[in-house]
Amino acid sequence: MTDTTVSTAMLQGFEPLSSLSAARLKEFAGLCYLEHVSKGLDPFRVKSAADQLAFLANGELELSFAGGGSETVAAGSAEARAALLRPQPIASAKALTDVDLIRIDRDLLDIMMTWDQLAAFDSTRTGRFKILPSGGNDPALSNWNLMSGVFSVTNLKGGAFANLPSAHIGELLNRFQRIDVKLGEVVIREGDEGDYYYVIESGRAQVSRLVGGVTVTLADLKSGDAFGEEALVSEAKRNATVTMKTNGVLLRLAKQDFIALLKEPLLNRLPAARAQEKVAGGAQWLDVRYPSEYQYDKLPGAINVPLAEVRNAFSVLDKSREYVVYCQSGRRSSAAAFLLAHRGFRVFLLDGGLWAARQDGGNA
């Protein structure tokens, strides 16, 4: 079996893929692959038909069902326009000729379809997202669909918006405002009150902080990166300054909308007893306080990643593991839990922090 690339023209022949825009299909094609299966072999012997969506691009297949019966499907037929899914589970299959299958992650496709369909929102207000007339070319795309950095397939699968409840997608997009920014413009300033959450649609920015009278660069941000959430989650003042390194466009979400649509849905709060159960079941305590606090007052088995270092830990922490985040009051851990959840980590928050847990008589 040899894997080769998939073209957008190939995807346009299948349903419901044909409903995606040309730009989306081009991006999506890079996440699919074409698999050649020789005559007489079962293409689902190793990779079950239930694991991924499979579309028949070339050749002829015989499908045998778990409940009995069979069906022959030929590429180009009406039956082959949809994925090889049937009401009865497919027990096995046989390539009656050499065949080519397009394999697609079913969860990935479902995410894209969800965002595409829920992006049909009010477009009448200036500065809001706008759905343009439907058609076959890029000018007919909705503006959100053009933002490959912000709303890329991979970002929706495991990035900034991966854990957003589906019910909030349309309203979230409707409440974002697009603003133009210039090289050297200060978007947020250290010490100011938090008012907006930002996502970079295009351009680059720099995050800096004043340390001992000296400006220290903390991070460089690019298209698709978000900033400004820490002050909104923790109800604190801005702890850094963000300055544009180029001209660009930002998406801005007001504090009240951020809290209602993004913050609370992503914070999985647990009381002390439930948090202990999680850890006993294999989750990891994550202490986001300063090392000096952690050293003298840590929970058994906890690891320490101070809030200021959470962004740097994204590549180190294990996405396959669950984390229970805590601090003293729950304020810093709320910010850390949001940042982690925003990047696709499975994270829970010790509600109220150590103070509340100990007042309730918990061991945490």
pLDDT at residue number 96? 96
279 lies in some domain: yes
CA distances from 221 to 37, 189, 193, 203, 246 (A): 44, 16, 21, 9, 11
The single-letter code of the amino acid at 211 is: V
339 and 301 within one domain: yes
Nearest to 36 by CA among 97, 105, 104, 109: 97
pLDDT tens track for 182-213: 999 999 999 999 999 998 988 999 999 999 88
119 and 248 within one domain: yes
Q: Phi first, then psi: what are they for 258, rounded to 5°? A: -60, -45
Number of domain units in the chain:
3
> Is 32 marked active-site?
no
166 and 246 within one domain: yes
Residues in the chain, overall count: 364
330, 314 in Cβ contact below 8 A? no
pLDDT at residue number 173? 77
pLDDT at residue number 127? 44
Catalytic residue among 231, 327, 340, 350: 327
23, 141 in Cβ contact below 8 A? yes
pLDDT at residue number 324? 97
Instruction: Please say which residue of 260, 285, 314 terminates a domain.
Output: 260
153 and 96 within one domain: no
pLDDT at residue number 73? 94
Instruction: Please say which residue of 234, 260, 286 terminates a domain.
Output: 260
> Which CATH number covers residue 125?
2.60.120.10
pLDDT at residue number 117? 61
220 lies in some domain: yes
Instruction: Please say which residue of 42, 77, 104 terminates a domain.
Output: 104
Instruction: Supply 254's token pair.
Output: 């007001």
280 and 217 within one domain: no
Alpha-carbon distance of 359 to 281, in angstroms, equals 24
119 and 48 within one domain: no
255 and 114 within one domain: yes
193: DSSP letter: B
Give the residue ranges of the chain where pLDDT is below 70: 1-3, 48-51, 116-150, 154-155, 158-160, 162-163, 166-167, 360-364
109, 83 in Cβ contact below 8 A? no
291 lies in some domain: yes
User: Which residue range(s) make up the domain with 43?
Assistant: 3-104
**Residues ≥6 apart with Cβ < 8 Å to 226:** 160, 197, 198, 199, 200, 342
pLDDT tens track for 286-328: 999 999 899 988 999 999 999 888 988 999 999 999 999 999 9
pLDDT at residue number 158? 66
pLDDT at residue number 16? 84
129 and 183 within one domain: yes
pLDDT at residue number 141? 35
340 and 255 within one domain: no
283 lies in some domain: yes
**Residues ≥6 apart with Cβ < 8 Å to 301:** 279, 284, 285
28 lies in some domain: yes
CA distances from 126 to 112, 168, 176, 182, 324 (A): 26, 21, 11, 20, 42
Alpha-carbon distance of 240 to 335, in angstroms, equals 14
341 lies in some domain: yes
> Which CATH number covers residue 334?
3.40.250.10
pLDDT at residue number 252? 92
pLDDT at residue number 198? 94
Concatenate the DSSP letters of all residues of 132-160 into one string: PPP-SSGGGS-HHHH-TTTS-HHHHHHST
The alpha carbon of 35 is separated from its chain's Cα centroid by a whole number of angstroms, namely 27
341 and 271 within one domain: yes
Alpha-carbon distance of 137 to 268, in angstroms, equals 41
214 and 333 within one domain: no
230 and 351 within one domain: no
Alpha-carbon distance of 277 to 274, in angstroms, equals 5
